[in-house]
Chain A
Amino acid sequence: MKEYLRGLKDGLPVGLGYFSVSIAFGVSAVQAGLSVFAAFAISLTNLTSAGQLAGLSVIAAAGGLVEMALTQLVINLRYALMSVSLSQKMDDSVRLWNRFIIAFGNTDEIFAIASGQSSSVTAPYFYGLMTLPILCWSGGTLIGAAAGKILPEMVLSALGVAIYGMFVAVIIPTAKKSLAIALVALGAAALSCCFTWIPGLNNVSGGFAIIICAVVAAAAGAFFAPAEDTV
C-alpha cells in the first residue's frame, strides 16, 4: 500500500500534464467527426498521444484496418524498446500476471519516471504510478470532446506545448549530471531535425523516424560511452 501511494504521488504531475494534453486530443477527435464516447474510448484503451493522433487521421481518411495496424505498429514501436528497458528494471517480486497489467501503462512519461527510480520497480508502485495518468488522460479527453469547442483558440494553442514541456523536464535534469546522456539526447534531436527538414528524409513517416533517430543515438552512446551499472 505504501508503494502504491508513492507511485500515486509520482504519477500526479504526469496525470496533470496528460489532462491538459488530452483536452486537445478530445477537441481534435470531435473535429475529425468522432462522437464524444468514441474519443473517450480511444483514450481509455490506447493511452498514447502520438499513436492516437495518427489513428484519428486514418479514421478520418477512412483508411483500411491493415493501414491502421501498421501505423500504430510503427509509431508505437518505441514502446517495445521501453518495455525491454523496463523489463530490466522490474523487482524480483513482480509476477508474470503483474507484467500484463504494467505493460498497459508503459507510456513515455511513466516509463521515464520508472526508469529514473534509484532502486528496482515493484508492481504496486507501478500501479500507483499509472492510476492518475489513466484517469486524467481519459477524463481530459472526455472534457475536451464535450466542451473543447468553447475553449478560446489561444488556450488550446498554449496547451499544445504541455507534453513537450514535460519531455524537456525529464531530459534536462539528467543531462545536467551526465554528459553522455546530454550528447545522446542532442544527437537524437539533431537527427530528428534532419528527418523533418531535409528533403527526401522527410518522406519517412514520423513514428519510423523517431525510432531510427533514437536507435542510432542510443547505440552511438552505448558504443562510445558504455555505462557501467545502468538500467
Chain B
Amino acid sequence: MSGMTLFLYIFVMAGVTYLVRMLPLVIFKKKIENRFIRSFLYYIPYAVLAAMTFPAILDSTSSTLSAAAGLLIAFITAYFELGLLPVALLSCLSVFICEIILTNLGIFL
C-alpha cells in the first residue's frame, strides 16, 4: 500500500469521526426545552453503553467462560461503586485467573 493511500484512509477515518462529533455540538447551542427530547438525551448514554457492552463483552476474551467471569466481577465491583479503573482492572484480573484455571483443568485450549 502506498503512503498516499494510507494517508487518505486515515484522513477519511479521522475526518468523518470528527465531523460526527463536532457538528451537533456546534449547532445545538441553545437549551432544548422539549421534555421528551431532554429525557431521551438523558437516557441515551446508558442505552448506548449497554448496547455496546451486551453481548459483545462475551466475545471480548479467548473464551466465553472467562468473559462471563470478567462480566460477573465487573457487575459486583461496579455495584459497590469501586470506580472505573478498579472495576476494569479487577475484571481483567478475573478473566486472567479464570483462564489459568480453565487451562489447568484442560477445559480450555
* Chain A contacts to B: CB under 8 angstroms: 12-14, 16-17, 20, 33-34, 38, 41-42, 45-48, 50-52, 55, 58-59, 62, 65, 68-69, 72-73, 76-88, 96, 99-100, 102-104, 106, 108-109, 111-112, 115, 153-155, 157-176, 180-181, 184-193, 196-197, 209-210, 213-215, 217-219, 221-223, 225-227, 230-231
Contacts and interface: CB of A to CB of B under 8 A. Distances in A.
A189 B91 contact: no
Question: Which secondary structure dominates where chain B touches chain A?
Answer: helix
B79 A172 contact: yes
B44 A158 contact: no
Given A45-B14, A82-B44, A158-B99, A20 B88 contact: yes
B51 interface: yes
Contact of A217 (B9, B47, B85): B47
Given A165-B70, A181-B43, A210-B51, A153 B62 contact: yes
B26 A51 contact: no
Contact of A68 (B13, B23, B39): B13
A219 B37 CA distance: 8
Contacts, number: 315
A17 B27 CA distance: 31
A196 to B, nearest CB: 5
Contacts of B17: 46-48, 51, 72, 76, 79
B38 A173 contact: no
Nearest to B31: A88
B67 A104 contact: no
B49 A157 contact: no
A134 to B, nearest CB: 13
B13 A52 contact: yes
B88 A165 contact: yes
Contacts of B50: 167, 171, 184-186, 188-189, 192, 214, 217
B50 to A, nearest CB: 4
A94 B44 CA distance: 23
Question: Which of B18, B37, B40, B74 has most chain A Cβ within 10 Å?
Answer: B40
A82 B62 contact: no
Given A38-B6, A84-B24, A104-B18, A169 B82 contact: yes
